[in-house]
Each structure stands twice: as structure tokens, then as C-alpha cells.
Structure 1
Amino acid sequence: MTDPVDQHWADLLSPSRRNLLRGGGIAATAGLIGGQAFAAEPTPKLSPAAVAARTGKSPWGYETDRGPTRRPKSVRPGEENGLPDRPRAFTDIKSYHAHIYFDEDSYEKAVLIRKWSADRFAIELGNWNHEPRGPHVTPSFYFGFGTDLQPVILPWLQLNSLGLTILIHPNTDDPRADHLHYALWVNRSQPVNAYGMKKPDLAAGEPAVERIYPNTRPTIAIERG
């Protein structure tokens, strides 16, 4: 037979009881048991799948087909408050990033492009990302380069991509737009999860635009026809 005190504690700390406490049914932050105070434990936030598993019902309800269709807020740069009244200056671009994507079947091509690039250009070469990182949803590596090299590196990558997907984006004061709206693609494009990227936090000492610090020592002159 269950001890009444144990059953009381079990009832008190059950998920439904916790919800009641959080809603202020007895005491949102404290209660009394035998004259002794206690603090209510926070209820963990459940995922929609966990809610469905507990209730046996859709966590979204049963009238989702009747919801309004609202126009989403624009995330296109310069259109947050309507169309811009003038174009941006091209000098807002301070540098570029090239992100070379690969997988378990094409990594040897990425190795070759990485070596060719480091041997020929004064670039900022990043580490290997063997798993998705940041807004990039597949393995990749990147290198940064100045605007002075853009007229050379862009056609060089077009001709030496070895069929890999390459994202080339500028660096301005708007990283989200750089990845989603100002980007160029070599070969096919792929999803980039950049919607959550924020503008630099100047108050925290972040630079207004990411800078490039070359770390390679090129030893081979670029091939010319």
C-alpha cells in the first residue's frame, strides 16, 4: 500500500501539479507542507514531439488550416521599410569569403583546391570544417581575400572548382545579407542557414565589417594563358 506522504509528494511534483504551481494555483514560487516552505521546480520546456507523445494529440491543435496567411516581414537588405531611395556604394564591400563545400566522396578535390589556393594567393585560410558549422550545412573550408584579388580569384575559382559547390560572398556590415542576398555561386547553390545572423555589436567591440588577415605564403605565380 502506498504511503500517504509519498503519494502526496508524487502528486505535488507531477507535471500537471507543477503547471498548477507555475500558474499560481497554490503558490508560484513556494508552498507549505507540514509548515515547511519549499521552492517549486521549474517545468522543463517540452518539444512539440514530446507534447504529442504525452497527450496523443497534435501539439499544433486541429484548426491550423483556418489560420491567417500573413505576409512575412521582408529580410531583403534595404527593403525593411520599403524600397531604398538610392543604391549602396560598391566600396561598402571590404573583403570576400570563399566557402568550398565537399563531402565524403569529394574531399580529395577540396584538398587540391585548398593547396592550389594557398600556394598562389595571399589569403586568410581557415581550418577544415569536417561537420556543418555556422550557417553552412555541409562540411567546408573557407578562405578570405581582399577586394584587390576579387578580379583574379573569382574567375580562377570558376575555372578550378573541380565541380564543387563554392559560395563567394562579400563582407559588409550586414552578414545575413552577405550570405543570402549578395552572394555568388560557382556551380550549384545549396541552402545556407544565415537568417539568424546579426549585424556586428559595435558596443561589444566587434568591428563594423569583418577584416581579413592573410596567413599564407604563396610561392607559385598564378598561371596565365
Structure 2
Amino acid sequence: MALKGFHAHIYYDADEVDLARDFAAQAKAQFKFAVGHFHIDPIGPHPRGSCQLSLGVEEFGRFAPWAAQERGDLTIFAHGLSGDDWADHTQHVIWFGPSEELDLSIFRQP
């Protein structure tokens, strides 16, 4: 199964929204990918505020080392896009910073 791309979710608390916006703006300028909505409250499987970045496979290869160095104190949860949400959020994952517990109850387990 080949991954079709990646989502990278910037995690932040309410007092870190400006940091997250700055990081997303720098990433968008550097890599030219889509930046989603900035959610203040948890949404979907994400345990706190988040913003989704949508990247192609090649973009992610360039983004990953940059994000590891430039994220500051922000946590970034990245996952592949295989078409299987459960696997994407449990097996095809990369954490930049401390990992956090996701709410996987919204996904159908295999």
C-alpha cells in the first residue's frame, strides 16, 4: 500500500495559537502547501487545538527535517494517507515533539 500524501497537525493550547499560526505561515511560504482551519478546541481524534497541513509525499520528505528543527515547543502529529484512517492514525505516524493520546474511537478498527 503506497501512501498518497501526509497530514501534519500542529497541536497547541489557546495561548499558543499565535506560535502555531507563525509556524504554519513559515511552512506554507517554504513548501507551498494547504493550511487548514485553526481549531481552538479538540476536534476529531486530536486531543487539543490543531491545524492541519496537507502535504504530498515529496513535500513531506522536505518538510520533516525542517519541522523537526523549526517547531519550537509545538507538537506536530504527522500521518500518512493510505485510505485506512485507523492505520493512518496508529501505524503510519510520526511525532515531532512529545506524543499525545488520540481519540481513536471515531475510527473503525480492523
TM-score normalised by structure 1 residue count = 0.46
Percentage of identical aligned residues: 27
C-alpha separation in 2, matches of 1:146 and 1:198: 25
Residue 171 of structure 1 corresponds to 81
Pick the structure with more strand per residue.
2
Task: Return the offset for 1:105.
Answer: 2.8
C-alpha contact (below 8 Å) 1:165/1:187 kept by paired residues: yes
Normalised by the length of structure 2, the TM-score is: 0.90
Q: Is the 8 A contact 2:12 2:48 kept in 1?
A: yes
Greater helix share, 1 or 2? 2
Q: Are 2:5 and 1:102 equivalent residues in the alignment? A: no
2:102 paired residue number: 192
Shift of 1:163: 1.4
CA distance in 2, matches of 1:176, 1:198: 7
State the Cα distance separating 1:195 from its structure 2 match: 3.6
Measured after TM superposition, the shift of residue 122 of structure 1 is 2.1
> What is the match of residue 140 of structure 1?
50
Bigger Rg, structure 1 or 2: 1
Alpha-carbon displacement from aligned partner over 1:17-38 (angstroms, at most 9, x marks no partner) = xxxxxxxxxxxxxxxxxxxxxx
> Structure 2 residue aligned with 1:151, among 58, 61, 64?
61
Corresponding letter in the other structure for 2:32 = A
In the alignment, residue 85 of structure 2 is paired with which amino acid? P
Cα distance in 1 for residues equivalent to 2:40 and 2:17: 10
Q: Which residue of 2 aligns with 1:77?
A: none
CA distance in 2, matches of 1:111, 1:124: 13
Query: How far apart are 1:174 and its partner, in Å?
Result: 0.9
Question: Is the 1:166–1:186 contact (alpha carbons within 8 Å) kept by the matching residues of 2?
Answer: yes
What is the SS of the residue equivalent to 2:104? coil
Stretches of structure 2 that go unaligned for 5 or more consecutive residues are: none
Structural RMSD (CA): 1.5
Q: Per-residue deviation at 1:109?
A: 1.4
Are residue 161 (structure 1) and residue 52 (structure 2) matched?
no
Aligned equivalents of 1:191, 1:161: Cα separation in 2: 19
Paired residues of 1:97 and 1:144 also in contact (CA < 8 A): yes
Q: Deviations over 1:148-193 (max 9, x none)?
A: 1122001111011111111010000211111122200001000111
Alignment deviations for residues 48-83 of structure 1 (CA, whole Å, 9 cap, x no partner): xxxxxxxxxxxxxxxxxxxxxxxxxxxxxxxxxxxx
The answer on whether the counterparts of 2:44 and 2:106 sit within 8 Å (CA) in structure 1 is no
Question: Whose relative contact order is higher, 1 or 2, with alpha carbons under 8 Å and at least 6 apart?
Answer: 2
Structure 1 stretches of 5 or more lacking a match?
1-88, 200-225
Paired residues, number: 109
How far apart are the structure 2 equivalents of 1:141 and 1:111? 9
Amino acid of the residue matched to residue 94 of structure 1?
Answer: K
